[in-house]
Structure 1
């Protein structure tokens, strides 16, 4: 699957320097990252809940690799490609559910809702810039799933 993820990050941070002085750092960034995702899930179906309709539950994970990135609508900042600042791989846990509707002899429509919870840190830039190893950025998302099986 191809998925675009993004966020707006605002920070106002006071960093202590080694000489006893402090430095205030503030800013705001708009992140946009595109991924190719490979879901590894188990999909469990119920018996018919209505004529021609079954419910399903989905659980598993997703392994993702970045294909493009932008920060503040720019692909290059200070002569460096923005895509290099994000980690190559990302992993999610995936939970979902929905319904499948029989439309004909071999045609089914499905609709569902899926939650993706990020497990890995996608960016080390803010840890380095602000000098704090406790900063972690993880992608979380909710998606609406629609499709046709034939």
Structure 2
């Protein structure tokens, strides 16, 4: 996993040398929640609430037209997998909750309006993210055994940017990540489960 992180940093660093880039940093408290489905007849499974997690890391914005950017980054993103499983045969209810950690690489377009006030612009961001698991689940005692190494999500965001100087800008906004792939790799029961991870966050950032 360390090799993957180093390769990702070197790849983006090499690209930034050849192109004009706006470098920044973003931090975001985010609510992590799940969508669960079961294909079996033994358990009825449902999400068990949400949890406050964290996303943070550097951002890289590459301009290709006025107010149009290709936006990426390298984020540490923590999520949860929390569910309640009811055995329809025994009426036994089991609850499990796990912390998941990912290296997230967004592949997005970031579009800005013209100034809506002195030094202020609204931005809209959309695209996808590739999420690589840093820490997952391996448990022989619980219902959920292991989560998958890779996730793929849709990203939508909007917010307000304020210019402090010639190159320095701060911004704040909201974003939503919707997971596309099944995060469940293996269970300890003879059923296939589907888990999708979603996050809703408040992002705060600065670019230089």
Q: Shorter chain as normaliser: what TM range? A: 0.7 to 0.9
Q: Relative contact order, CA 8 A, sep 6+: which one is greater?
A: 2
Aligned to 1:129: 189
Match of residue 60, structure 1, among 111, 123, 127? 127
Structure 2 distance, partners of 1:62, 1:77, is 27
Q: Residue 85 of structure 2 is aligned with which of 4, 11, 34? A: 11
Q: Does 1:40 align with 2:101?
A: no
For residues 88 and 124 of structure 1, the distance between their equivalents in structure 2, rounded to whole angstroms, comes to 8
State the TM-score, normalizing by the size of structure 2: 0.58
Cα RMSD (Å) of the superposition?
A: 2.2
Q: Looking at CA atoms only, which structure, 1 or 2, has the larger radius of gyration?
A: 1
5+ residue gaps, structure 2, are 1-74
C-alpha displacement of 1:86? 0.8
Deviation digits for residues 56-113 of structure 1, max 9, x if unmatched? 000100001100135xxxxx6449xx8x711110000000001110111221111111
Distance 1:125 1:29 in 2: 15
| 1:1-150 correspondence runs (5 A) | 1-14=75-88, 22=89, 26-69=93-136, 77-78=139-140, 85-126=146-187, 129=189, 131=191, 133=192, 135-150=193-208
The change in CA–CA distance for 1:110 and 1:142 in structure 2 (over 3 A counts) is same
Moved over 4 A (4+): 22-25
In structure 1, runs of 5+ residues without a counterpart are 15-21, 71-75
Tell me the equivalent position of 1:18: none
Alpha-carbon shift at residue 13 of structure 1 (Å): 2.7
